[in-house]
Structure 1
Amino acid sequence: MLLLALTACGGDENAKEQPEGDGPAPVALTIAPEDGAQDVPTQGELAVTAEGGTLTGVTVAGPEGEEVPGALTEEADAWAPDEALANDTEYSVTAVGENAEGDEETSTATFTTVAADATFSSYWNIPDGSEVGVGMELSVTFDTPIQNTAEVGEAVRITTDPPVEVRGHWFGDQRIDFRPEEYWEPGTEVEIGFRLRGVEGADGVFGTLRENVSFTVGRGQVSTVDAAAHTMTVTRDGEEIRTIPITAGAPGNETWNGKMVITEKHKETRMDGATVGFGGEYDIPDVPHAMRLSTSGTFIHGNYWASSGTFGSANVSHGCVGLGDAQGAGDPGTQGAWFYENSMIGDVVEVINSDDDVIAPDNGINGWNMDWAEWGAGQ
């Protein structure tokens, strides 16, 4: 026992006494941009790294204390923000890291982002908390042309339950629509995170919108209008629930073919032909149960002025789909009233066998008429 004790106390004769303070190097923290920086870009500049250790916490806060969300790398040696920063705003950064021995270091910095020369506003078509039909597309429009379409499109973040791929497609430089490959599955919950604030849409022109909205997909209803047979078959969740006699566009004014989405509902509305290129041909102040299918003026609506024998036998409209109805929209027993009460924004009405072209995908919310391979190309 004595020998063991002496041996343990004696140690290795070749070992050198370790100087005081000689241990693991502290973690080196780097914050970009440097402390006091001005006119910092709102994207691509802010980053925090750790060398010789890991980051244990990063906080980036604006003047009101609101924190910028961000994420660590898998190795926890770098952090980056998840979204653009606001323009002309001072941010404070606090980074905490530790080395392999758990020795902690803290670093801080403040910087101010670049001011915007101008801003763009963003508008969308689905109210927060809405229940919509399976054909609804999210359409976002801007009040100024967008040059950096990829960056702006990526700043509209869509998540779904159950998960489904959603792509955006640009129509020109001021509108982007989003949809899945097929109609939404009924019951899908959709969350949209608009993260356009601080995104540079064009040279010196930045977005301002930062908001979360959501919508729910209701039951699945698709109605097929056969213009040649003068009928509409209403299918809900895969079951045919009613066939309705209709009148469609007369020769020379045929109804568009294709898949169209209901975007507005009006129990009564005025329809003046002068607003859609039919000056003087009609002006009806009280069209009942009208639902918009296109920007150019296609509706599916009640019709009280045609004879009852017209529905199911002749096409006499100026391009709309007409259903038998009563003046005043007060008779719930008419086909027009039934279809109105059983339809919601986002339902699909598909027209077939009409002697006209397929409607353009941007004439309303009608992107379902574009192939999935083309949808999203060139964003």
Structure 2
Amino acid sequence: MNGRPISGASAHARKRAGRRGAKGLTAVVSGATLLLVAACGGGSDSGDGGGGKDGADAGKPSQAVVTIAPKDGADAVATDGALRISAAKGKLTEVTVKDPKGRTVPGKIVADGAKWSPERHLASGTKYKVHAIAKDSDGRVAAKDTSFTTLVPKNTFVGQFTPEDGTKVGVGMPFSVRFTRGITAPDAVEKAIDIKTEPSVPVEGHWFGNDRLDFRPEKYWKPGTKVTVTMNLDGVEGRPGVYGKQAKTLRFEIGRSQVSVVDVKTKQMTVKRDGKVIKKIPVTTGKPGYETWNGQMVISERLKVTRMNGETVGYGGEYDIKDVPHAQRLSTSGTFIHGNYWGGGAFGNYNASHGCIGLRDVRGGYDKNVSAAWFFDRSMIGDVVVVKNSNDKIIAPDNGYNGWNMSWEKWKA
């Protein structure tokens, strides 16, 4: 596209006018006067551009040519890969891409000014305006303005996430997203989720299957850490023809550190708050054949009372307790640490459960002085319970929010 001239009357035109004035005077003035007029004519000849090629070319249009794809007025444009901006016979100096709310698409000029590349995908069903400027080798400006509208997807997905916006959680809580459709473009989806922390700490994502993505640091969160998550999924093609429709920013905070260690052999749980032991509690864990998982487990759900039925976890009709008090979930498969009012003398003496960790309680859970109530009242989502010395294997990292059982190297891989 031809640019707009940026100068007024050319230095060349002023030069010609100056020479005509000098010629008319030489017929009537002396030689001394002629020298003076010639000197004045020489000053006019230099012009604003200093004379020469620059002055002569100042009135010409820029040779730079700006090209923008998609074409002006295009509709149903792809959200990724379709936006391309380049310059020929010049270099790009400014590119702005904005949506109707004035939000700019981040990008950068690359290839020594020949191209501009967006740093992320575009939102779906959105009209964008593009303004691009380039300069040729003589510094003359060419500009181009276009607009286009991205596609409106027929099939979409969202991410269902935890923890919730504005919550405070324990040091073991990852940021976990479960997608409503199986993802076949994991890199694009993961790139669209940005996590920043204060204080800063490296956070990496790990996929469990094609529908779940968890983020965590190498070690437990530092107490007091503030986490900001930007989910820029709107317009991401997560699988062919299926696009994200989510654009959300949320924040959560890490509370105090509480890590409780259950020793199956001694049948004791040691509760540590910010690294200091605050209580030791007698427990009962899984009996032979129903051993409790080993490993690091994160509290993911808290229920003051719940029903536990063996049929829901593959134990047939072995038990059906309709009023289990102070129950806190440790695994998706049904492992809880909970109050137990039927255990008699098991606590601290022998293991009698079907895999859960039982703490002494009373029916109805009304007594705040019993172990289960004490522990429940001092726990929060994201607290860690570690089980050791069980005859069972280590719990799978995706069975609950228990990715801490995976090494940092495997997590990043």
TM-score of the pair, normalised by structure 2: 0.82
Question: 2:275 corresponds to which residue?
Answer: 238
Alignment partners' CA distance in 2, 1:169 and 1:137:
11
Alignment partners' CA distance in 1, 2:63 and 2:163:
52
- RMSD between superposed Cα atoms in Å: 2.7
Structure 2 unmatched ranges of 5 or more: 1-34
**Residue identity matched to 1:323:** L
For 1:208, which of 230, 245, 256 is the aligned residue? 245
Question: 2:22 corresponds to which residue?
Answer: none
- Residue 105 of structure 1, CA deviation: 4.8
Change (3 A) 1:123 1:112: same
The reply to whether residue 267 of structure 1 matches residue 304 of structure 2 is yes
Question: 1:178 corresponds to which residue?
Answer: 215
Q: Which moved more, 1:27-36 or 1:215-224?
A: 27-36
Question: 1:301 corresponds to which residue?
Answer: 338
The reply to whether residue 70 of structure 1 matches residue 106 of structure 2 is yes
On the 8 A contact 2:192/2:231 being kept in 1, the answer is: yes
Alignment partners' CA distance in 1, 2:57 and 2:157:
61
Aligned to 2:81, the other structure's residue is in SS state coil
**Residue identity matched to 1:186:** P
Q: Structure 1 segments of 4 or more deviating over 6 A?
A: 74-77, 98-103
- Residue 26 of structure 1, CA deviation: 6.6
On the 8 A contact 2:176/2:214 being kept in 1, the answer is: yes
Give deviations 1:204-225, integer Å, cap 9, x for gaps: 1111111111111111111100
- 1:209-224 equivalence runs, <5 A: 209-224=246-261
Question: 2:197 corresponds to which residue?
Answer: 160
- Residue 76 of structure 1, CA deviation: 7.6
The reply to whether residue 86 of structure 1 matches residue 100 of structure 2 is no
Question: 1:29 corresponds to which residue?
Answer: 66
Alignment partners' CA distance in 2, 1:16 and 1:290:
88
On the 8 A contact 1:54/1:99 being kept in 2, the answer is: no
On the 8 A contact 1:290/1:300 being kept in 2, the answer is: yes
On the 8 A contact 2:99/2:126 being kept in 1, the answer is: no
Q: Which moved more, 1:153-162 or 1:104-113?
A: 104-113
On the 8 A contact 2:97/2:128 being kept in 1, the answer is: no
For 1:58, which of 57, 77, 96 is the aligned residue? 96
Alignment partners' CA distance in 1, 2:118 and 2:373:
52
Question: 2:175 corresponds to which residue?
Answer: 138
Q: Which moved more, 1:294-303 or 1:77-86?
A: 77-86
The reply to whether residue 366 of structure 1 matches residue 402 of structure 2 is yes
On the 8 A contact 1:91/1:112 being kept in 2, the answer is: yes
Aligned to 2:66, the other structure's residue is in SS state strand
Aligned to 2:56, the other structure's residue is in SS state coil
Alignment partners' CA distance in 2, 1:238 and 1:193:
32
- 1:305-344 equivalence runs, <5 A: 305-307=342-344, 309-344=345-380
- Relative contact order (C-alpha < 8 Å, sep 6+): which is higher? 1
Question: 1:118 corresponds to which residue?
Answer: 155
On the 8 A contact 1:259/1:369 being kept in 2, the answer is: yes
**Residue identity matched to 1:143:** T
Aligned to 1:359, the other structure's residue is in SS state coil
Alignment partners' CA distance in 1, 2:397 and 2:52:
80
Alignment partners' CA distance in 2, 1:70 and 1:29:
19
Alignment partners' CA distance in 2, 1:73 and 1:220:
45
- Residue 289 of structure 1, CA deviation: 0.7
Q: Which moved more, 1:297-306 or 1:164-173?
A: 164-173
Alignment partners' CA distance in 2, 1:321 and 1:194:
36
On the 8 A contact 1:59/1:94 being kept in 2, the answer is: yes
For 2:184, which of 125, 147, 169 is the aligned residue? 147
Alignment partners' CA distance in 1, 2:244 and 2:390:
43
Question: 2:76 corresponds to which residue?
Answer: 39
Q: Which moved more, 1:189-198 or 1:117-126?
A: 117-126
Alignment partners' CA distance in 1, 2:82 and 2:214:
29
Change (3 A) 1:180 1:286: same
Aligned to 2:307, the other structure's residue is in SS state strand
On the 8 A contact 1:24/1:99 being kept in 2, the answer is: no
The reply to whether residue 346 of structure 1 matches residue 397 of structure 2 is no
Q: Which has the higher helix share?
A: 2
On the 8 A contact 2:286/2:357 being kept in 1, the answer is: yes
- Residue 330 of structure 1, CA deviation: 1.4
Equivalent residue pairs, number: 370
Give deviations 1:144-180, integer Å, cap 9, x for gaps: 2111111111111111111111111111111111111
**Residue identity matched to 2:374:** W
- Residue 304 of structure 1, CA deviation: 0.9
On the 8 A contact 1:35/1:111 being kept in 2, the answer is: yes
**Residue identity matched to 1:61:** D
Aligned to 2:375, the other structure's residue is in SS state helix
Percent of pairs with identical residues: 48
